[in-house]
Copies of this chain bind each other. A is one copy, B any other.
Amino acid sequence: MKYSSSLLNEAVEALSELPSIGKKSALRLTLHLLNDESNLALRIAQKIVDLKNNIKKCEVCYNYSDHKVCQICSDPSRNKNIICVVESIRDVMAIEDTDQFSGVYHVLGGIISPIEGIGPSELNIDGLIRRVEKDAPKELIMAVSPTIDGETTIFYITKMLKNLDVKVSTIARGVSFGGELEYADELTLGRSIHTRIPYSTDSNI
């Protein structure tokens, strides 16, 4: 795209460094910010700087937190016997939004990926092992991506935990609600038949 102003061009270039913002979106955002009376650009930058300077990681679960221990870990009504192991803070939010889980979390900060050069030492796996040794939870639910890397991560963690008395489960893999069988991939469909569950008329969705 051709810009009539190099100042405009520079602003668009900076905005298009954001993930998933292309040149056209960046231009629309730039023109919005240019005509915005409330100094939104500066307010956003200020909030990000505040966030960078003051955000902490929860000492227990590595979730982002305003305090040393996050709201979830310090909530006495949460069941500390079940720890849900996830890749990122976004997964914590997604699971919290379901209102179906009352245990606590452990954020790995990624998954083991030989291709991207991410090994166990880059992740919060040691912290998880220490936490299991110390708090002796009854169950770890592995809620990581159903990929080769995810499976590798689950395998690695399970191996590290083998001398500890903790049950390890994974979230159910299967055809999603509203999904059509013919469009499900073979692996998912095959596994969903293999791990079929008894039908019950009073099961919760």
Contact = CB atoms under 8 A, between A and B. Distances in A.
Interface of A: 1-8, 10-11, 14-15, 17-20, 25, 27-34, 40-45, 47-52, 54-55, 58, 63-66, 70-72, 89-90, 92-93, 96-97
Q: Among A3, A18, A34, A65, find the residue whose CB has the most chain B CB atoms closer than 10 A.
A: A18
A82 to B, nearest CB: 18
A29 B29 CA distance: 14
A10 B66 contact: no
15 contacts: A4-B63, A4-B64, A7-B47, A8-B51, A8-B64, A11-B47, A14-B40, A14-B43, A18-B33, A19-B28, A31-B90, A33-B48, A41-B45, A41-B49, A44-B45
A140 B175 CA distance: 59
Contacts of A2: 93, 96-97
Nearest to A15: B44
